[in-house]
Amino acid sequence: MLSKKMLDALNEQINFELSSAYVYLSMATHFDAANLSGFANWMKVQYQEETEHAMKFYGHVYDRGGAVTLKAIAQPPTKFKNPIDVFKQVLEHEKKVTASIHEIYALAVKENDYATQIFLQWFISEQVEEEKNAAEIIETLKISGESGPALLMMDRHLASRKED
């Protein structure tokens, strides 16, 4: 059984994951409009991953006897500068997700909620990968620049990303 405090935190995380998905979908629309289908693909895969993360939290809540309470999702940003700016926003966003998961983990430790601690281990590892991927893309974009053949090669590379 989840405590009220833990249930509230997990419900907030479900909302955060769904909001994250919405942000990535907005970024995908930006790249599709700019004819950068590889970048758009990367964001669409990210969108799918975030919805899957929300559903994992959803399942954990119900597995533990809680109830999910969905909240409104704010409109995501719709205007972006260039690919490197977008990926800097991705990295900052993923750092916020990491911090949120760490806060829930700390609460689980405080409450001796061992099941939630174990459940969150996967997310902690996943966030290391999420931040690493965004940081690597930023560094590659710094080398390739905002236009030209190198950017198109990067676009083709990102087109190969598939959902795990």
| Predicted pLDDT of residue 164 | 61
Count of structural domains, the chain: 1
pTM of the model: 0.93
User: What is the residue whose two structure tokens read 């758009």?
Assistant: 40
120 belongs to a structural domain: yes
| Predicted pLDDT of residue 161 | 79
Contact residues for 102 (Cβ-Cβ < 8 A; gap 6+): 124
- Span 13-39, average pLDDT: 97
* 68-85 pLDDT, tens digit each: 999 999 999 999 999 999
The domain of 117 spans 4-159
14 belongs to a structural domain: yes
* 85-134 pLDDT, tens digit each: 999 999 999 999 999 999 999 999 999 999 999 999 999 999 999 999 99
59 belongs to a structural domain: yes
* 126-163 pLDDT, tens digit each: 999 999 999 999 999 999 877 788 888 989 989 987 87
d(Cα 95, Cα 39) in Å, to the nearest integer? 20
Tokens representing 46? 């990210």
164 belongs to a structural domain: no
Three-state secondary structure readout of the chain: CCCHHHHHHHHHHHHHHHHHHHHHHHHHHHHHHCCCHHHHHHHHHHHHHHHHHHHHHHHHHHHCCCCCCCCCCCCCCCCCCCHHHHHHHHHHHHHHHHHHHHHHHHHHHHCCCHHHHHHHHHHHHHHHHHHHHHHHHHHHHHHHCCCCHHHHHHHHHHHCCCCC
CATH code: domain of residue 33:
1.20.1260.10
